[in-house]
Amino acid sequence: MGSAPAPSRRGAADICGPVHANATIAIMTASDRRLRRIVIVGGGSAGWMAAAALASATRGNCPIELIESDAIGIVGVGEATIPPIKLFNQQLGIDENAFVAATGGTFKLGIEFVDWTRPGQRYFHPFGRFGADFDQVPLHHYWLRERARGSDVPLHDHAMAWAAARAGRFDRPLRDPRLVLSSFDYAYHFDAALYGRYLRGYAEQRGVIRTEGRVVEVKLRAGDGFIEAVLLEGGRRIEGDLFIDCSGFRGLLIEGALAVPYDDWRHWLPCDRAVTVGCAAQSDFLPYTRSTARAAGWQWRIPLQHRTGNGHVYSSQYMRDDEALEVLLAHLDGEPRGDPRQLRFIPGVRRQFWARNCVALGLAAGFLEPLESTAIHLVQSGIMRLLALFPDRAFDPLLAREYDRITRTEHERIRDFIILHYHAQRRDEPLWRYTRAMSIPETLQYKIDHFRSGGRIVTEPLELFQNPNWLAVLVGQEIWPEQFHPLVEMRADVDSALLLAGLRQSLEQAARALPSHRQYIEQHCRAAIA
């Protein structure tokens, strides 16, 4: 092979002829289609998450302005999270201990579901996997065989997350995959308002400008209908190229200005209201969320360092507001703190999440009730998707189409996961009779049919909830397979009862070696909140 040609030493002027400096500047300016300003309408967790992530990604090369009004309250129901939030914070370079301390946070190993199939029944949805597979056949099929032989040991007893949660213990997972202490994952509980405040400080340090004010009018550009500017009370005009709608249920931009329709999913998710109140913190806060089914909905319990968050999600078709408040107050673990807050919502999503030059995040994009703590995650994934498909001023329509395609799919798969909790139960109150009999999406029915037929878990790569999550809830909601994996019958030499018992013993021993949840927090991330 011949040698590569020597690089040319001629510059642009030698190739193209003389170029004047002013002409070069004009060419660069004409071809520079970078965004010149990003405007975020609305604060709270969604707004400040967007501000922090965009400031980190643009590195000061695009002005970012966030408009919020102190007169408009923050919904703030998203106090429980799921494990992917760790990645969001890590990408921002946020120190975990500092963040937990600043938000009065605690750690979350999963969700305990109480009374969901019938009064007195409990199950745990752990973060992480169930134990360790013995061979190519998934562990739960051996568990199903032992259940068929008469064992009554719950599936969740084979998860490290539950072994630690049940004992009230916590530490970070180990990295060695051979050890059971690597098999669990975790997320956080935190005060949503304090999280927004923490991210505000982060964003403002990186140049984000906060403007206090209320948007009273949205100006659309003639010709293409793009948002040109928003007008605030007092007459101030704020222009931008990209607008992020974090205005909550009102959807000031995505609905008020751009008239994007909303798909109502109440026929699948009938709960449309919530009442919330804090109460005194418990002396030994547990490292998990608790969800307890009630006659017309369910109640959450979220332990923070400085208080316990409580809420009752219910259907207005089956319970009055005053009855819902009475149920909530009757089931608190301590004295109420503050006045109860009533929330009204419509479960569902926008037909478009990205319309013209506007991207909706948080409640402006849709609302899936907080049963599986997905509200903050959907903000996070929306932001990460926006960064992956980040536009210039040309706003290639393909970007919005792909953003909407993936975002819609994500919402639908999460919707199916939540519907599963409602549809698969045996309670006898009117709400639960309705959800048990209702038609469900084909995508969910397909998953249920596969599991009921042979214990198979069917998921797709883009789904948030994967095999261990579906397994925990399918079994927890008592959808029993008609048979286990055929290969288990060919494993006569595998003493699964002995192996499962040994796994449980290993998990319990590992859990006992961990510090208590309180000890861990006192040592690493104690909050200075009264």
| 206-256 pLDDT tens trace | 999 999 999 999 999 999 999 999 999 999 999 999 999 999 999 999 999
Contact in structure between 127 and 478 (CB atoms under 8 Å): no
21-40 pLDDT, tens digit each: 444 344 445 468 999 999 99
Contact in structure between 45 and 78 (CB atoms under 8 Å): yes
CB atoms within 10 A of CB 302: 26
153-201 pLDDT, tens digit each: 999 999 999 999 999 999 999 999 999 999 999 999 999 999 999 999 9
Q: What is the percent of the chain where pLDDT is above 90?
A: 86
Instruction: Spell out, as residue ranges, where the chain has pLDDT lower than 70.
Output: 1-31, 71-78, 529-530
Output the CATH code of domain 106-190+273-344+414-524.
3.50.50.60
pTM, full prediction = 0.92
pLDDT of amino acid 426: 84
219 catalytically annotated: no
pLDDT of amino acid 530: 52
Q: Which residues have CB under 8 Å from 123's CB, separation 6+?
A: 112, 113, 116, 154, 155, 156, 472, 475, 476, 477
Contact in structure between 337 and 280 (CB atoms under 8 Å): yes
Fold for the domain defined by 38-79+191-264+347-395: FAD/NAD(P)-binding domain (3.50.50)
Cα dihedral sign for 89, 92, 97, 100? negative
CB atoms within 10 A of CB 182: 16
pLDDT of amino acid 413: 97
pLDDT of amino acid 23: 41
Write out the residue limits of the CATH 3.50.50.60 domain(s) in the chain: 38-79+191-264+347-395, 106-190+273-344+414-524
Contact in structure between 526 and 305 (CB atoms under 8 Å): yes
pLDDT of amino acid 403: 98
Contact in structure between 494 and 134 (CB atoms under 8 Å): yes
pLDDT of amino acid 72: 63
E strand or H helix at 232, and its extent?
strand 227-232
Q: Of these residues, 86, 108, 219, 447, which one is catalytic?
A: 108
